[in-house]
């Protein structure tokens, strides 16, 4: 008999489970990749929403899902977890915390106490946000390590399940033409953006507590930065790749609270407090400029930008190359744009290279920007798998490459903690008009460096 699996989804009747987890598990199961899956336990309080979801699933998979009335904060509720684990001796137990972050510690402690009574192999999956600040992230890691080894812990950042982000490593390390120029000698700056046109959209209570910096910069954008900046690992395995990401985060220049205004800008869209229903100085827009102090990247700024109710929905990483020395265009009385390589992550899945070409109007014409692009879905004849499908498959396989390690999570918080502290003590948040690219201060922030924002 092959390996058997049980998966307990805490918050199993919630929005994430219904929209992402069950469809992704179904795709894996129906594709023959989870043959050992025996039960999917939906732990929660509202069965009605789950029943609606079950109607949309394939019967063969839906029969594996069992609703279990559950109160995360009630120790007695965990008896059912013990009973079910006992019924499947030897089965691997996967605990998936799809919960509000304030319930993580309680769920970890109570679950860990139950599972230590059984010899079953187990894995603990923790959704983002992993902590609210550096102190809480350290405390959460401490509780996890009381009951689980690092090999059993899977801290999820669903951005890492996106194929375009994984493709950054492939483009860099599989193409000598790029890796040879992937350094301070050829790259002027790197811009990593995740911009949205929507506002709160039903996330008011959560979003106002965390804001743009915690919601996007500390996790998603910092992970993209690591993929762009890391050194090639000696061996392509999970620990070596994560080692290189940790080296990047450890090399990021630290700045004190008094320096924050030089390295970060925030904003809030007009109408946010009306939409929220109360006053708030939570930022809906954030820009952070980081420097990586190592041989490859010394002096190259990394701009991390995110915001809501902006002009365009776009998640991308843009590498802006240096201007050609003694640029030929200057001899013609014009200044050609710099070369750019962009990885579009959403809404499309493209790799775009922008370069200069002479138009067919004569040798002395100014070069014009031209574009070469590859749409991943069209090029390979299939759409990339949903991020959660990739990550869930890796969890079952025991591959931690695309998950966050303990030291990685804490270093990421350490970098932005001075910004959190500075903004907490300053109630003055610049406003910006919805449908623009953010506050005036964000444009001035990059223009004072002699640069401009790029959207490919």
Look up the CATH number of the domain holding residue 257: 3.30.360.10
Residues 277 and 416 in one domain: yes
Secondary structure class of 237 (helix, strand, coil): coil
The answer to whether residue 150 sits within a structural domain is no
Tell me how far apart the alpha carbons of residues 415 and 263 are, in angstroms, rounded to a whole number: 11
Secondary structure class of 358 (helix, strand, coil): coil
User: pLDDT, tens digit, for every residue of 61-109?
Assistant: 999 999 999 999 999 999 999 999 999 999 999 999 999 999 999 999 9
Please tell me which residue in 158, 220, 274, 379 is annotated as part of the active site.
220
Q: Distance of CA 36 to CAs 120, 345, 392, 439, Å?
A: 15, 33, 14, 52
Residues 51 and 177 in one domain: no
Burial class (CB in 10 A: 0-12, 13-18, 19+), 175: exposed
The answer to whether residue 136 sits within a structural domain is no
Q: Domain limits at 375?
A: 160-384+405-447
Q: What is the DSSP letter of 314?
A: E
The answer to whether residue 145 sits within a structural domain is no
Q: What is the mean pLDDT of residues 130-146?
A: 96
Contacts for 296 with CB less than 8 Å, ≥ 6 apart: 182, 183, 184, 229, 231
Residues 216 and 103 in one domain: no
Residues 319 and 378 in one domain: yes
Count of structural domains within the chain: 2
The answer to whether residue 400 sits within a structural domain is no
User: pLDDT, tens digit, for every residue of 377-402?
Assistant: 888 888 889 999 999 999 999 999 99
> Around Cβ 350, how many Cβ atoms within 10 Å?
18
Confidence at 328, pLDDT banded by 50, 70, 90: low
Confidence at 333, pLDDT banded by 50, 70, 90: confident
Q: What is the mean pLDDT of residues 149-162?
A: 96
Q: What is the mean pLDDT of residues 290-302?
A: 98
This prediction has a pTM of 0.95
- Give the CA dihedral 49, 210, 389, 9, nearest 10 degrees: -50
The answer to whether residue 80 sits within a structural domain is yes
Q: Is the pLDDT of residue 1 over 80?
A: no
Residues 240 and 110 in one domain: no
Residues 280 and 425 in one domain: yes
Tell me how far apart the alpha carbons of residues 161 and 196 are, in angstroms, rounded to a whole number: 20
Which pLDDT score is estimated for 234? 87
Which pLDDT score is estimated for 336? 79
> Around Cβ 384, how many Cβ atoms within 10 Å?
17
Q: What is the mean pLDDT of residues 16-29?
A: 97
Q: What is the mean pLDDT of residues 213-220?
A: 97
Residues 414 and 282 in one domain: yes
Q: Is the pLDDT of residue 327 over 60?
A: yes
Q: Which of 80, 112, 127 is the last residue of a domain?
A: 127
Q: What is the mean pLDDT of residues 434-443?
A: 97
Which pLDDT score is estimated for 363? 63
Q: Is the dihedral of CA 431, 433, 435, 439 positive or negative?
A: negative
Which pLDDT score is estimated for 334? 78
Residues 75 and 181 in one domain: no
Question: What are 268's two structure tokens?
Answer: 């809030």
User: pLDDT, tens digit, for every residue of 99-108?
Assistant: 999 999 999 9
Q: Is the pLDDT of residue 202 over 90?
A: no
Q: Which of 7, 215, 193 is nearest to 130 (CA)?
A: 215
Distance of CA 407 to the CA centre of its chain: 17
Task: Match 């137990």 to its residue by tokens.
Answer: 93
Q: What is the mean pLDDT of residues 406-413?
A: 98
Residues 227 and 289 in one domain: yes
Q: Which of 127, 148, 175 is the last residue of a domain?
A: 127
Q: Specify the DSSP element, H or E, that contains 135.
A: helix 134-147
Q: Which of 315, 305, 215, 294 is nearest to 264 (CA)?
A: 305
Which pLDDT score is estimated for 452? 95
Confidence at 329, pLDDT banded by 50, 70, 90: low
The answer to whether residue 395 sits within a structural domain is no
Please state the φ and ψ torsions of residue 264, each to the nearest 5 degrees: -150, 145
Residues 193 and 325 in one domain: yes
Which pLDDT score is estimated for 367? 80
The mean pLDDT of the chain is 94
Tell me how far apart the alpha carbons of residues 37 and 143 are, in angstroms, rounded to a whole number: 28
Q: What is the DSSP letter of 219?
A: I
Q: What is the mean pLDDT of residues 47-55?
A: 90
Distance of CA 156 to the CA centre of its chain: 8
Residues 59 and 181 in one domain: no
Q: Is the pLDDT of residue 200 over 70?
A: yes
- Which of the residue ranges 68-72, 189-193, 248-252, 357-361 would you say has the lowest mean pLDDT? 357-361
The answer to whether residue 197 sits within a structural domain is yes
The answer to whether residue 147 sits within a structural domain is no
Question: What are 434's two structure tokens?
Answer: 């919805």
Secondary structure class of 127 (helix, strand, coil): coil
Q: What is the mean pLDDT of residues 327-352?
A: 85
Q: Which residues pair with 290 in a beta bridge?
A: 302
Q: Which of 109, 127, 145 is the last residue of a domain?
A: 127
The reply to whether 379 belongs to the active site is no
Which pLDDT score is estimated for 324? 81
Residues 345 and 257 in one domain: yes
Which pLDDT score is estimated for 290? 98
């Amino acid at each position: 008999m092959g390996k058997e699996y049980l998966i307990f989804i805490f918050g199993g009747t919630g929005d994430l489970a219904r929209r992402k987890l069950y469809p992704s598990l179904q795709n894996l199961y129906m594709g023959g990749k989870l043959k050992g899956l025996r039960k999917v336990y939906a732990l929660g309080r509202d069965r009605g929403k789950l029943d609606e979801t079950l109607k949309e699933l394939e019967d063969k998979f839906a029969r594996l899902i069992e609703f279990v009335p559950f109160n995360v904060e009630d120790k007695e509720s965990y008896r059912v977890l013990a009973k079910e684990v006992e019924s499947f001796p030897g089965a691997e137990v996967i605990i998936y915390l799809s919960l509000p972050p304030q319930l993580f510690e309680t769920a970890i402690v109570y679950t860990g106490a139950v599972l230590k009574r059984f010899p079953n192999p187990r894995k603990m999956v923790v959704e983002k946000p992993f902590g609210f600040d550096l102190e809480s992230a350290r405390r959460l890691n401490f509780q996890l390590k009381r009951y689980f080894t690092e090999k059993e812990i899977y801290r999820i950042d669903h951005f890492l399940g996106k194929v375009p982000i994984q493709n950054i490593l492939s483009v860099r390390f599989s193409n000598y033409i790029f890796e040879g120029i992937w350094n301070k000698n050829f790259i002027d700056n790197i811009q990593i953006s995740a911009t949205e046109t929507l506002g709160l959209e039903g996330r008011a209570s959560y979003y106002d507590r965390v804001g743009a910096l915690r919601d996007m910069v500390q996790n998603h954008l910092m992970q993209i930065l690591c993929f762009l900046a890391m050194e090639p690992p000696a061996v392509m395995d999970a620990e070596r790749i994560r080692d290189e990401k940790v080296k990047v985060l450890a090399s990021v220049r630290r700045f004190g609270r008094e320096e924050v205004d030089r390295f970060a800008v925030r904003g809030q869209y007009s109408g946010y407090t009306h939409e929220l229903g109360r006053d708030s100085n939570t930022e809906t827009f954030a820009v952070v400029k980081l420097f990586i102090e190592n041989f490859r990247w010394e002096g190259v700024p990394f701009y991390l930008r995110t915001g809501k109710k902006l002009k365009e929905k776009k998640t991308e990483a843009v590498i802006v190359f240096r201007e050609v020395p003694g640029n030929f265009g200057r001899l013609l009385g014009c200044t050609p744009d710099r070369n750019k390589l962009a990885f579009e992550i959403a809404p499309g899945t493209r790799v775009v290279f922008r370069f200069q070409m002479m138009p067919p109007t004569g040798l002395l014409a100014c070069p014009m920007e031209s574009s070469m692009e590859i749409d991943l879905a069209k090029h390979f004849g299939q759409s990339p798998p949903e991020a959660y499908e990739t990550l869930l498959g890796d969890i079952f396989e025991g591959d931690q490459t695309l998950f966050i390690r303990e030291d990685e999570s804490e270093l990421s918080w350490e970098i932005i903690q001075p910004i959190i502290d500075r903004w907490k003590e300053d109630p003055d948040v610049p406003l910006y008009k919805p449908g623009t690219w953010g506050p005036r201060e964000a444009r001035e922030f990059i223009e004072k460096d002699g640069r401009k924002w790029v959207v490919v």
